[in-house]
Amino acid sequence: MSGGYDRDFLRARLELPSPSATTVLLDYVHFSVRLRPARKLAAIVGVNISGSELNPLAREGTWHFDDRIPREQQAGPDVYKNNAFDRGHLVRRLDPVWGDAATAKKANQDTFAFTNAAPQVDDFNQGKELWVGLEDHVLDHADAHDAKLSVFTGPVFADDDSEYRGVKIPRKFWKIAAWTNDGNLGAAGFVLDQSPLLGKVELKKAITERLLEGEPPPLGPFRTFQVPIGQIADLTGLSLTRLSNADRLTSGQRELGKAPKAIQLESMEQVRL
């Protein structure tokens, strides 16, 4: 069975970005997690998706600790009991579920590791249709020959994130999808914010900061943005130069003589690829 994120999966080599803070690399079937023990959550996950080989297995899996890491370094079931938090998959459950039957089944179960989960308010996790459909949408526009994506996802860690049951709860999440067309790398970056919903779990203080500098406070329960990948680098501290250089949003805006800026998404048709 395949082990971990493959940097040579696309026709252009693409490394799994590494945070400056200490992380532990954990390989699973078709994806990898860089766990940040100090936060008990993944700092970044990377998955390879083979669109032509996807196996639409039923949602069957058992949430579990990864025995390679001490349990006290993982946000386990106690974080999610009797509250409004879901165990939000960072690597989307079906993304690594491809290949032969045994490989697909193992990949499906691997996505239920607590190292691949982050606390997401139930309305946020269950209702974000744009967010959960982004991989499918990008696959439809990726290289027709390869039908392959590499996707990176993670929370935005902030020092002033509110603590709940021993875990600081991220207010925002980001995603970058990458693909190749004729061997050339393309990429698109996205941010989604759950801070307007965090009052549901009675955190100690209200969240008032803005999603992006210069943007008004969110008006609904969450908003999805396509953002310049360089902005994700600023938010996370990750080195994303290669992905930023391949960013279809900023390249398209510069061609129009516009300064790169985020786009609030209300439909998939607005996504720039």
Residue 72: band (very low, low, confident or very high) from pLDDT cuts 50, 70, 90: very high
Three-state SS across the chain? CCCCCCCCCCCCCCCCCCCCCCCEEEEECCEEEEEECCCCEEEEEEEEEEHHHECCCCCCCCCECCCCCCHHHCCCHHHHCCCCEEEEECCCCCCCCECCHHHHHHHHHHCCEHHHEEEEEHHHHHHCHHHHCHHHHHHHHCCCCCCEEEEEEEEECCCCCCEECCEECCCEEEEEEEEEECCEEEEEEEEEECHHHHHHHCCCCCCCCCCCCCCCCCCCCCCEEEECHHHHHHHHCCCCHHHHHCEHHHHHHHHCCCCCCCEEECCHHHCCC
* Among 127-136, 205-214, 249-258, the least confident range: 205-214
d(CA 110, CA 169): 23
Give the side-chain half-sphere CA count within 13 A for 240: 28
Could you report the per-residue pLDDT of 75-124, keeping only the tens digit for each? 998 988 877 777 888 999 999 999 999 999 999 999 999 999 998 877 65
Q: What's the mean pLDDT in 210-216? A: 43
Could you report the per-residue pLDDT of 254-266, keeping only the tens digit for each? 777 777 788 888 8
Could you report the per-residue pLDDT of 7-45, keeping only the tens digit for each? 999 999 999 999 988 999 999 999 999 999 999 999 999
Tell me the whole-structure pTM to 2 decimals: 0.87
